[in-house]
Structure 1
Amino acid sequence: MTNRKFFNIKTMAKVSILAAIAFILMEFDFPIPFIAPPFYKLDFSEVAVLIGGFAMGPLAGVAIEAMKVFLSCLFFGSGTAYVGELANFVMGCAFILPAAWFYRRHKNLKSALIGMIFGTLSLMLVGGLTNYFVMLPAYSFFFHMPLEAIISMGAEVVPFVNNAFTLVLFCTTPFNLIKGIVTSLMVFLLYKHISPILHR
């Protein structure tokens, strides 16, 4: 997608609408029992972002992700929320960019599936690193909670958890795997119906 094409009014309007939808979907989050501690919550905001990335390219996907995060910071921003939203943006881009880039090169069902698989694997890797190095220390700092207390919350769900690494390995990574699969499945079911509207 060229800059001239991306910055036209119609495309920016579509990006803004999808970002607003993603922001709304982001607020309907919920935990996944038996997989991860309750502070890990699943939402369907990446469905709108990935649909936009497929329809208008990776750059549009990043723009939708950025606007979604900006809206969340604007309405619900606080110390830990800003760190969380920054991590959300990084992990969202890690999922969206490989999927949208691969689909952009070969626009067919096979490419979409392969792109979403690569996106899910990227989400798992980047999500694990982001949680280990950023999110867990940030939660511990902002909530004045020892890291051991956070780890013990993970141990209540998965008995194998006994340190930050195992928390990321046995809770964060499976959580992001499920998020990637659920998001990919929903996009797979919805994109064919929504794509003609976005291309109109």
Structure 2
Amino acid sequence: MSESNASAISKPRAVSRTHKLTVTAMLSTVAFLLMFIEFPIPALIPAFVKLDISDLPELLAAFSLGPIYGVVVTLLKNVLFSVLHGTSSAYVGELFNFIMGSVFSFSAGFIYQRKKSRKSALTGALVGALLMAVLSVPLNYFVVYPAYVVCYHLPLEAIIGMYQAIRPSTNGLLECLMVFNMPFTFVKGMIDVALCFLIYKPLSPLLHK
């Protein structure tokens, strides 16, 4: 192979790699900033559980660049948040956010990558949101809430009481998580999915340049 032919082949790959890194950095920054835009829905779930759309850029990365890039964006946004904002939960909250976002974006991107169509993108996003919702229960039960009890010195009974203020018949942390957190997490994921489908096409030239 001549030197000119080798150069012609390697150059597009280098440009593609540079573009992917640039888009990844851009989406990670946007995801990091979106972590600051959150708000409670006290009528539906205790106020300390807040709604945000910081998983949206991860979904965009997973669909446009591949599932691994969705995970990378999730990692970078949490690293940025931990370094620039700090943590109040001994990094348990950031770890939980990383695991949830990674499951969501990787599942969606993996299914979409196998057959790139609008239907497979929707299927992947639904599967990702469902997996994220189901996984949130054991992670919250065994890791996150016990850590919050230690970090915030808040008795578990007080946390359960916040759920019972909304639904008095709720009994125990596991029921709280299944009745409130699991559907909340799924709906949160589907909001990201809806927004992704709305803005993906207008952003496509930037994501696929």
TM-score range, shorter chain: over 0.9
Contact (CA 8 Å) 2:61, 2:69: kept in 1 or not? yes
- The answer for unaligned runs of 5 or more in structure 1 is none
Deviation per CA, 1:21-79: give whole Å up to 9, x if none.
01111110111232211111111111111011100000110000000000110122235
1:77 aligns with 2:63: no
Deviation per CA, 1:69-98: give whole Å up to 9, x if none.
001101222350511000000011111111
Contact (CA 8 Å) 2:90, 2:151: kept in 1 or not? no
For the aligned residue pairs, the C-alpha RMSD in angstroms reads 1.7
Question: Which whole-Å CA distance do the structure 1 matches of 2:179 and 2:67 have between them?
Answer: 30
Question: Which whole-Å CA distance do the structure 1 matches of 2:15 and 2:83 have between them?
Answer: 25
1:144 aligns with 2:153: yes
In structure 2, relative to structure 1, the CA distance for the partners of 1:147 and 1:5 (3 Å cut) is farther
Out of 136, 149, 164, which is 1:127 matched to? 136
In structure 2, relative to structure 1, the CA distance for the partners of 1:52 and 1:184 (3 Å cut) is same
1:42 aligns with 2:51: yes
Question: Which whole-Å CA distance do the structure 1 matches of 2:201 and 2:73 have between them?
Answer: 19
Q: Which amino acid aligns with 1:196?
A: P
Deviation per CA, 1:149-176: give whole Å up to 9, x if none.
1111111122232211011111111210
1:55 aligns with 2:64: yes
Q: Which amino acid aligns with 1:41?
A: K
Alignment coverage as a number of residue pairs: 197
1:17 aligns with 2:4: no
Question: Which whole-Å CA distance do the structure 2 matches of 1:66 and 1:129 have between them?
Answer: 21
Out of 13, 32, 36, which is 1:27 matched to? 36
Which residue of 2 is the match for residue 172 of structure 1? 181
Contact (CA 8 Å) 1:158, 1:171: kept in 2 or not? no
1:117 aligns with 2:113: no
Contact (CA 8 Å) 1:49, 1:65: kept in 2 or not? yes
Out of 100, 116, 126, which is 1:91 matched to? 100
Question: Which whole-Å CA distance do the structure 2 matches of 1:76 and 1:186 have between them?
Answer: 26
Task: Normalising by structure 2, report the TM-score.
Answer: 0.89
Contact (CA 8 Å) 2:125, 2:193: kept in 1 or not? yes
Question: Which whole-Å CA distance do the structure 1 matches of 2:99 and 2:156 have between them?
Answer: 23
Deviation per CA, 1:83-135: give whole Å up to 9, x if none.
10000000111111111101111111100110111011101111111111111
User: Structure 1 vs Structure 2: percent identity of aligned residues?
Assistant: 39
1:160 aligns with 2:169: yes
